[in-house]
């Protein structure tokens, strides 16, 4: 008798929305899904909406299901970022810097786009008014991503920086 997957209605909604593919390891996808939610990188609703958008794109293209990404790939390689509906992040409510009333990274919206800004820059805090600015990310994963993808951009804007979780 095959093992039953754990009862996880939040993940089940994502799984039901995701386009079919064989093979598509459910348990690995569930672990990645829950890790992203726990890290605070994205909400379950955003992931489910991204899966729905990806499924709609594949249906519209009449694509062969064997060429759909595995759900674990969709999650681990952050391909979901390309499918988060724009209306969910169209009007960010950035955290305010206490002294200026403006998000310290607000000027980067035009350079990276509202989707990336909302996902990667809105949760950041800027500390340290000395020579080295300290960029504080909510998680180690978030800090690593900022270093890998946006460190040069931040150096252009702020000079010497250090990114910390």
Is pLDDT above 90 for 165? no
- Of 3, 32, 1, which Cα lies nearest the Cα of 15? 32
Assessment of whether the complete model's pTM goes beyond 0.75: no
**Averaged over 113-128, what is the pLDDT?**
82
Q: So what's the pLDDT on residue 93?
A: 40
Please tell me the class of the 93-164 domain.
alpha beta
- The confidence band for 3, taking pLDDT boundaries of 50, 70 and 90, is low
Q: Which pLDDT band, with edges at 50, 70 and 90, does 160 fall under? A: confident
Q: What are phi and psi of 63, to 5 degrees?
A: -75, 145
Which residue, among 31, 77, 83, has the nearest Cα to 55 in the 3D structure?
83
Give the per-residue pLDDT at 28.
94
pLDDT in tens, 45-101: 999 999 998 999 899 889 999 999 999 999 998 888 888 765 444 343 433 333 445
Which two tokens mark 27? 């348990």
More confident of the two residues 37 and 110: 37
What pLDDT shows up at residue 48? 92
Domain with CATH 3.30.300.180 in the chain: 93-164
SS3 of the chain: the string is CCCCCCCCHHHHHHHHHCCCCCCCCHHHHHHHHHHHHHHCCCCHHHHHHHHHHHHHHHHHCCCCHHHCCCHHHHHHCCHHHHHCCHHHHCCCCCCCCCCCCCCCCHHHHHHHCHHHHHHHHCCCEEECCCCCEEEECCCHHHHHHHHHHHHHHHHHHHCCEEEEC
Placement of tokens 């790939």 in the chain: 73
Per residue in 15-40, pLDDT (tens digit) is: 999 999 999 999 999 999 999 999 88
What pLDDT does 96 receive?
A: 37
């Amino acid at each position: 008798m095959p093992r039953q997957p754990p009862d996880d209605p939040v993940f089940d909604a994502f799984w039901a929305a995701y386009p079919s593919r064989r093979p598509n390891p459910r348990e690995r996808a569930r672990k990645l899904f829950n890790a992203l939610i726990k890290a605070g990188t994205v909400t379950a609703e955003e992931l489910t909406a991204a899966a729905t958008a990806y499924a709609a794109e594949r249906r519209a293209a009449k694509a062969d299901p064997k060429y759909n990404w595995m759900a674990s790939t969709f999650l681990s390689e952050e391909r979901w970022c390309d499918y988060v509906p724009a209306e969910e992040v169209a009007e960010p409510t950035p955290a305010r810097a206490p002294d200026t009333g403006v998000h310290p990274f607000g000027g980067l919206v035009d350079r990276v786009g509202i989707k990336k800004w909302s996902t990667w820059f809105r949760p950041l805090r800027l500390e340290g008014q000395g020579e080295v600015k300290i960029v504080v990310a909510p998680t180690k994963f978030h800090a690593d991503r900022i270093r890998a993808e946006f460190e040069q951009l931040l150096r252009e804007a702020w000079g010497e920086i250090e990114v910390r979780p």
